Amino acid sequence: MSLPNTSEPSAFFSGAEKRAPAARLGVLVVHDLVAMIVTGSVTAGQLLPPEGELAAHFGVSRTVIRESVKRLEEKGMVTVIQGRGTEVSPSSEWNILDKVVISTMIENDETLGVLDELAVVRSELESAMSAAVARTRTDAELDELRAALDAMHAVVDDHAVFPESDKDFHALLMTQSGNALAKSIARTLVQRASDNSRFHGAPGPDAFALTLEEHARVVDAIAAGDPDKASAAMREHITKAWERRKLPRDA
């Protein structure tokens, strides 16, 4: 159902506050519109209000609104239909890997379902890459993995440095797999999600030690040349690591 084109503010903005003058930036207009779509305040098939109404609500020029709509279209959130207006697209069309889209989805997901899905996708990608390394690794590559694991051991008590050494281990393994596409998708997912504190959660005091143990099992399976064990070990690690970090639903 389309929205009426009148000079009076429509129900589209019901409950939303007008932007203060200091916050009249196009990037915030895009964020707010993405949030309205992600949260279901405006649904698939519905038309955005006309340019003039959007400009008045956000306190920006029509030019800023046009540019903002273009950004939404690039993200797969809306479709501009000649003679009809700007129609909200179904979620199946959204570019989930877009930084604003996935960040906004995480911000507004009380059940953490998006992060649950992210953990599943990441575990499948990295488990496949771990299996590939187990099949093809050289002695030099195995030495590199063991050195990365040793580096994690050396900083296991340093909460500021350990997460970076953890990332380095995963990055090395993914590079050794030779699967550039899988590496790019997995890395992008983690980078996008890392911007939100919900991704980091509250892992608990034993999290780093457990991570080391799980990484060691991956390396052992790779050293043994066992793709199935390497795959299972990485899948288990990513799944358990997320469960350790995951905050209660109402946190």
Kindly list the distances between the CA atom of residue 156 and the CA atoms of 160, 165, 209, in Å, as whole numbers in the listed order.
Answer: 10, 9, 7
Do residue 117 and residue 82 come from a single domain?
no
- Answer yes or no: are the C-beta atoms of 77 and 42 closer than 8 Å: no
194 and 116 in a single domain? The answer is yes
Q: Are 117 and 69 members of one domain? A: no
Question: Is residue 5 scored above 50 in pLDDT?
Answer: no
Please answer whether residues 225 and 141 qualify as being in contact, where contact means their C-beta atoms are separated by less than 8 angstroms: no
Query: 202 pLDDT band (50/70/90 cuts)?
Result: confident
Is 119 found in the same domain as 77?
no
Q: How many structural domains are present in the chain?
A: 2
* pTM value surpassing 0.75: yes
* The pLDDT value given to residue 13: 60
The CATH number covering residue 41 comes to 1.10.10.10
Alpha helix (H) ranges present in 92-179? Answer: 99-107, 113-136, 139-154, 162-177
Backbone angles phi, psi at 48, to 5 degrees: -70, 155
What tokens appear for 230 in the block?
């390497």
* Inside any domain, residue 208: yes
User: Which residues span the domain enclosing 152?
Assistant: 109-245
- Res 4 pLDDT > 50: no
For 136, phi then psi, to 5°, come to -120, -5
Q: Are 119 and 45 in a shared domain?
A: no
